[in-house]
Structure 1
Amino acid sequence: MTRSSAPIDPASAEWLEALFFSLSSARGIVAAVSGGPDSMALMHLLALWRGSAARPPVIVATVDHGLRPEAAREAAFVAAEASRLGFPHRTLVWTGPKPGTGLQEAAREARYRLLIGCAREEGATHLVTAHTLDDQAETLLMRLSRGSGLAGLGGMRPERDRDGLRHVRPLLDCPKSMLLALCGRERWPFVEDPSNLDERFARVRWRRLMPALAAEGLTAERLAGLARRARQAEEALDAKAAEALGRARPVAGEGGLRLDAAPLAEEPFEIALRAFVQALDRAGIRPETGRLQRIEACVGRLRDALAKGEAFRATVSGALVRLDARGGLTLAPEPPRRRGRAPV
């Protein structure tokens, strides 16, 4: 049973323990609170959880992106509510020029950069955000529209490592309507962000489509269920890919990561693809966003060359890929001066 299938009783110690179980080992927690109903519910639930036993210290942080004049006032509102609950508060301001395109993506990157910096300064080990079931469904639809692979269809993870910090999303099984009802019932105040109605942003446009999709059976709960199943399949495939990479006997050296490419030809394509990406990671190369098709093409040509006993050379996603005629594969970071000049 998911947490969202049970009625929320903020006085229930058992429910709160299940909700925040992942935070019990934290040495310190930064809670990202914008002032909206989701994050205000999170802050109040953390206060109830903290009051039931000895807990790690919690610091509330609000990011002011500097994009709306109301943002400073909203941060002050959160600070006052946090103080009333006994939480210290910090306002983190995104300064500097803002991009003309890709604003939401840049704001997201800036937000996490500021939150991670705050956590490090405060000695916190965990970051909590108030992403909900509805946020998960919207994320899945956005990634579907961009042609995402199985990894992307796994949506947001309930927990993940973020630059050495444990990022936890305890409300990911909770519908937004449930949290709104909770705020209303418990008289927890919140603010409305007008940017949530701005259709310049893809997430807002997808949110507007959700009722029509739900009427056809594509509800947020079913989309979140698809994401959960995709994550399960992803874990199984990654485990098989790790086994294949182990058989390739990768060895790191000055010239890059050296391995036997034969297992990449013996396995099904999806396993070979994942083993190749894992090898890139071992070589210190992070595949660039949106490069999945190019990596797939590279692995396809690599397998063809292996079958023919031919040498092969290509650059893809920041990596220099070299296969010799004996099946030895070397992966190394592509020299900066050649980036993008010798594509697959």
Structure 2
Amino acid sequence: MSDDDHSPISTREASRLFAGLKSAPALVLAVSGGPDSVALMWLMARWQRSLARAPRLTVVTVDHGLRREAAREAREVKRLAAELGLPHRTLRWRGAKPRTGLPAAAREARYRLLADAAHAVGASHVLTAHTRDDQAETLLMRLLRGSGLAGLSAMAPFSERDGIVLARPLLDVSKSQLIATLKRAKVGFADDPTNRDTAFTRPRLRVLLPLLAAEGGDIRNLARLATRLARANAAVEVLADGAERFLRLRDRGDAPQAGQRSFEASAFAALPDEVRLRLLLRAINALGHEGPAELGKVETLMSVLDQAIAASLRAGTDRRPILKQTLAGALISLAGGRIQIAPAPARRRKGGIGAGEGGS
């Protein structure tokens, strides 16, 4: 993009941003009515008209039922979509809303509804208007929460959910450029007051961004850091893939039973820490039944496992379990020089972590 973050996005720049989407049969645009998503809709409509054969576009607005203004904003998006010649649907998040973790729950509901809408219209992609500013804020949020390398990679340009590709074509575009684009086109947009509500984490961090920028931590540099961490994360994933193949080759006749994963303990212990951590995460998330494992708890498990492996190597090949622990609905055990991961028996009662359990 242009070095001038306040310049409107040109037709040529928009064509480059959306070039990878030309062959899609249909696309769903997630448009809330704010400047970012309205700009995405306007730019996509202009891009569609420039193509001889273009994907079908459907605009979807999700009303979370959390603000009175949301219904009016959805109607305004519908009006603008009609002016652009685009079909529009409003989807509502119904049911009781949680008292805690509301932003995360709303986000989960939004993506679920968007994926359902994409399936309904035969779309291969859902497009969101996340910007460079959003990427920088996401990096900061995850940094403060102590995320690992994968989390610090922030948002990917493309990801997958429920058989639908989530595309974020504006990740390298600043919010100010999108606002400049709308001002030049004389297109209005809504102002969501929750974006300034310091009861939520993201708006509180947004207030700090000018102070960070004064020390060199501006939005562009933070987003660039997320990109570099994403490259490093992709490289570690390749190493983990290779390590998984290596461990399988060493297994020979000791392949695990169906529905289990198994590693030779001594070979596993020789791998780099980050690779071993990812192999454990993959196995636990694949076989557990209580949701994704928390990184910190898997790190604790790996530390306990390291101690158990060292003890087992000193003790010889005793087949009795040296370690037996549950985490995120998976059972991890060490016996006979092998690490076994399998689905854990369902818990009979709720409560704290019992003896020998790692929790979830």
Counterparts of 1:195-344 in structure 2, within 5 Å, are: 195-249=194-248, 251=255, 253-254=257-258, 256-283=260-287, 288=292, 291-309=294-312, 311-325=322-336, 327-337=337-347, 340-341=353-354, 342-344=356-358
| Superimposed CA distance per residue, residues 252-275 of structure 1 (whole angstroms, 9 cap, x where no aligned partner) | 634522332333211121111112
SS state at 2:212 partner: helix
| Superimposed CA distance per residue, residues 239-286 of structure 1 (whole angstroms, 9 cap, x where no aligned partner) | 111111111117563452233233321112111111222233444668
SS state at 2:74 partner: helix
The runs of at least 4 consecutive aligned structure 1 residues that moved more than 6 Å come to none
1:157 maps to 156
Please, which runs of 5 or more residues in structure 1 have no aligned partner?
Answer: none
Counterparts of 1:1-344 in structure 2, within 5 Å, are: 3=1, 5=3, 12=11, 14-53=12-51, 54-249=53-248, 251=255, 253-254=257-258, 256-283=260-287, 288=292, 291-309=294-312, 311-325=322-336, 327-337=337-347, 340-341=353-354, 342-344=356-358
Q: Greater Rg, structure 1 or structure 2?
A: 2
> Which amino acid is the alignment partner of residue 303 of structure 1?
D
Task: Give the 3 Å change call, closer, same or farther, for CA 321–68 of structure 1 in structure 2.
Answer: same
How far apart, CA to CA, are the structure 2 residues paired with 1:229 and 1:25?
29
Task: Give the 3 Å change call, closer, same or farther, for CA 284–316 of structure 1 in structure 2.
Answer: closer
How far apart, CA to CA, are the structure 1 residues paired with 2:183 and 2:89?
26
How far has the Cα of 1:318 moved from its partner? 2.2
> Which amino acid is the alignment partner of residue 301 of structure 2?
C
The answer as to whether partners of 2:153 and 2:229 remain within 8 angstroms in 1 is yes
How far has the Cα of 1:303 moved from its partner? 2.4
The answer as to whether partners of 2:265 and 2:338 remain within 8 angstroms in 1 is yes
How far has the Cα of 1:10 moved from its partner? 5.0
| Superimposed CA distance per residue, residues 93-134 of structure 1 (whole angstroms, 9 cap, x where no aligned partner) | 011111111111111111111111111111111000000011
Please, which runs of 5 or more residues in structure 2 have no aligned partner?
Answer: 316-321
| Superimposed CA distance per residue, residues 16-60 of structure 1 (whole angstroms, 9 cap, x where no aligned partner) | 231012312322111000111111110011011101111111100
How far apart, CA to CA, are the structure 2 residues paired with 1:324 and 1:252?
13
- Equivalent pairs: percent with the same residue? 46
Task: Give the 3 Å change call, closer, same or farther, for CA 28–206 of structure 1 in structure 2.
Answer: same
2:319 maps to none
Deviates more, 1:23-32 or 1:249-258: 249-258
The answer as to whether partners of 1:9 and 1:15 remain within 8 angstroms in 2 is no
How far apart, CA to CA, are the structure 2 residues paired with 1:304 and 1:180?
56
How far apart, CA to CA, are the structure 1 residues paired with 2:2 and 2:341?
45
TM-score w.r.t. the length of structure 1 is 0.93
How far apart, CA to CA, are the structure 2 residues paired with 1:286 and 1:23?
35
The answer as to whether partners of 1:22 and 1:168 remain within 8 angstroms in 2 is no
How many residue pairs were aligned? 339
> Which amino acid is the alignment partner of residue 106 of structure 1?
A
Aligned-residue CA RMSD (Å): 2.0
SS state at 1:313 partner: strand
How far apart, CA to CA, are the structure 2 residues paired with 1:105 and 1:225?
25
TM-score w.r.t. the length of structure 2 is 0.89
| Superimposed CA distance per residue, residues 165-206 of structure 1 (whole angstroms, 9 cap, x where no aligned partner) | 111100110111111111111212111111112111111111
SS state at 1:211 partner: helix
